[in-house]
């Protein structure tokens, strides 16, 4: 059974009186442990699809089912709780909180879980250890390189042990070397930690690391 099921999803944005269709009757299945790369030109609906899978946006019609949960049936608060448990987000621009240290940034999602401060700290340190930043716990984002910031962001996505990692152009803002390191890390998370990964990318080298690549154009998927 697929971990992510998208059935006949339409997404239409409204710009004043005008309707802008972004996804047009899209269906997709992602199996548990899969690593999918989503490619396509700008405005093709890649990020929108990622947002729908992550429950931060709702489809105009159709079903989004992740881990057996029909997302349309969840209220705002339930969706927030569901995201905290099931989804890890990795952004192109890392989106770390600048006033928090690396460890505090990673602890952030754990504030929503009943957990002792000690356990929270230990889990954050473990996640940072996995991404190879155990020696940067007390560093602020401004004291880290782009690659290191992205690794902190990956640790933050990882710390609550979600089944699915959604990465929106995770190497888009990095140099070639850092990008390669991040892609290696994502591959390791998929193979070693069995994380299901859906990654939006413009980079064919990044897409090569995935198990399969899907192309999205004008809201329609093709292999």
List of residues contacting other proteins (CB under 8 A): 51, 54, 56-57, 76-77, 80-81, 83-85, 89, 91, 95, 97-100, 104, 107-109, 111-112, 117, 120, 156, 160
Q: Closest distance between other proteins and the C-beta of residue 162, in Å?
A: 10
Q: Closest distance between other proteins and the C-beta of residue 204, in Å?
A: 26
The DSSP element (H or E) to which 10 belongs, if any, is: strand 2-15
Q: Closest distance between other proteins and the C-beta of residue 49, in Å?
A: 12
- Name which of 114 and 177 has its Cβ closer to other proteins: 114
Nearest Cα to Cα of residue 3 among 22, 31, 27: 31
β-strand 61-66 against 69-70: which pairing, if any?
Answer: antiparallel
Q: Closest distance between other proteins and the C-beta of residue 149, in Å?
A: 13
- Name which of 144 and 209 has its Cβ closer to other proteins: 144
DSSP state of 146: H
DSSP state letters, 74-116: --HHHHHHHHHHHEEEE-TT----TTS-HHHHHHGGGGGS---
* Cα gap 106→108, rounded to integer Å: 5
Q: Closest distance between other proteins and the C-beta of residue 21, in Å?
A: 16
CA dist list (Å): 67 to 5, 101, 162: 9, 32, 11
- Name which of 69 and 213 has its Cβ closer to other proteins: 69
- Name which of 54 and 209 has its Cβ closer to other proteins: 54
- Name which of 31 and 97 has its Cβ closer to other proteins: 97
């Amino acid at each position: 059974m697929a971990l992510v099921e998208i059935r006949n999803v339409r997404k239409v944005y409204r710009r004043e009186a005008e309707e802008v269709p972004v996804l047009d009757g899209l269906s997709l299945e992602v199996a548990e442990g899969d690593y999918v790369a989503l490619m396509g030109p700008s405005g093709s609906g890649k990020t929108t699809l990622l947002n729908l899978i992550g429950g931060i946006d709702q489809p105009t019609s159709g079903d989004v089912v992740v881990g057996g949960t029909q997302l349309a049936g969840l209220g705002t608060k339930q969706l927030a709780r569901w995201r905290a448990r099931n989804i890890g987000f990795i952004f192109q621009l890392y989106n770390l909180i600048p006033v928090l240290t690396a460890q505090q940034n990673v602890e952030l999602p754990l504030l929503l879980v009943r957990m002792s401060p000690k356990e929270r700290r230990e889990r954050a340190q473990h996640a940072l250890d996995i991404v190879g930043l155990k020696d940067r716990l007390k560093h602020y984002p401004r004291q880290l390189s782009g690659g290191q910031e992205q690794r902190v962001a990956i640790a933050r996505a990882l710390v609550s042990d979600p089944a699915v990692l959604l990465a929106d152009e995770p190497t888009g803002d990095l140099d070639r070397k850092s990008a390669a390191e991040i892609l290696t890390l994502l591959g390791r998370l998929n193979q070693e930690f069995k994380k299901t990964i859906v990654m939006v990318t413009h980079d064919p080298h990044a897409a090569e690391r995935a198990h399969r690549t899907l192309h999205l154009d004008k809201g329609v998927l093709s292999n």
